[in-house]
Amino acid sequence: MKFLSIAAAGISLCFMSATQVAAVTADDILSQVRNRPDGVDTFANASLVLIEKNGSKRVRDLLFLQKDYGKDDKLTLSFTTPADVKGVVLQSINYDESVQKEDDQWMYLPAFRQIRRIAATDKRGSFMGSQFSYIDLDKLRVTDYRQTLVREEKINERDCYVIERIPSSLEVVNRTGYHKVNVWVDKDSSVVVKQVYFDAKGIPFKEFFAKKLEQVQNIWTVTHSEMRDLVNGRTSELIFSGVRYDVGLDDSLFQHNIMKTGVKNGNLPQVR
């Protein structure tokens, strides 16, 4: 799952295309979610909104850039405001699942002037102080779980499949922090519209919702999503605007050098 479908989450992160699902198993449904076409590349402005239990908010603005490379895809998230996060950049590579390779992530923090690879054991940590974790930015991986189609129900008047996912190994639990995940997939668009995450005792501790789903260039796109922490009462929202597909993003935007030099207006002539 790309970041816009949390993203990529995610955080895949999640731009979704409108394709009909003719699935008979949970694996088939989630493979359709992972592999649906969504353009060669994607550009968007985004805001990460951190909401405390008392309702106070902090907003962090960023550029969202994503591009396909064969069966892999690369992501660059470049924070622009406020001043305390300006210049922070996250990059990731989501690999073709058939190669059975862990997705890579790197973070650049201007204060340290170093690019740090995010280890698999660190991906369950909070992304930029939000309720999204780094693992939520990785693309949905079908084979990491044993999944069962348990029922169908409506979410916001949309017919959905409800799938229960159990980690296939202890390694997956250690990497994600999730002992079970329930997933709601919109039947018409193949978009993940809700997820509930459970701890070792079977208690839900986090929920994801796609609050706004709209078509952009005939591609179903989650433009507003939220992650709720059911323990501490905090919520984080991802709000996207100016979404455009197939804009011809240059390869330089997905190389490590851009993390230090920064994504500037001049790097985006086709978009700006």
Domain ranges of the chain: 3-256
pLDDT band at 263 (very low <50, low <70, confident <90, very high): confident
Residue 128 three-state SS: coil
241 or 6: which leads in pLDDT: 241
Q: Which CATH number describes the domain made up of 3-256?
A: 2.50.20.10
The Cα 261–Cα 272 span in angstroms is 19
The Cα 14–Cα 245 span in angstroms is 13
Contact 69, 99 (CB under 8 A): no
pLDDT digits (tens, 9 = 90+) for 80-136: 999 999 999 999 999 999 998 999 999 999 999 999 999 998 999 999 999 999 999
pLDDT at residue 62 is higher than 70? yes
The Cα 206–Cα 80 span in angstroms is 28
pLDDT at residue 78 is higher than 60? yes
Q: How many CA atoms lie within 13 A of 168 on its CB side?
A: 8
Which amino acid does the sequence have at 154?
A: K
Predicted model pTM? 0.89
Which of 14, 22, 68, 21 lies closest to 41, judged by CA? 68
- A 10 A CB-CB count for 264 gives 10
pLDDT band at 262 (very low <50, low <70, confident <90, very high): confident
Q: Please state the separation of Cα 266 from the chain's center in Å.
A: 27
pLDDT digits (tens, 9 = 90+) for 1-27: 455 544 444 444 444 433 333 446 999
Q: How much of the chain exceeds pLDDT 90, in percent?
A: 83
Mean pLDDT, the chain, rounded, equals 90
pLDDT for 258 equals 94
pLDDT band at 222 (very low <50, low <70, confident <90, very high): very high
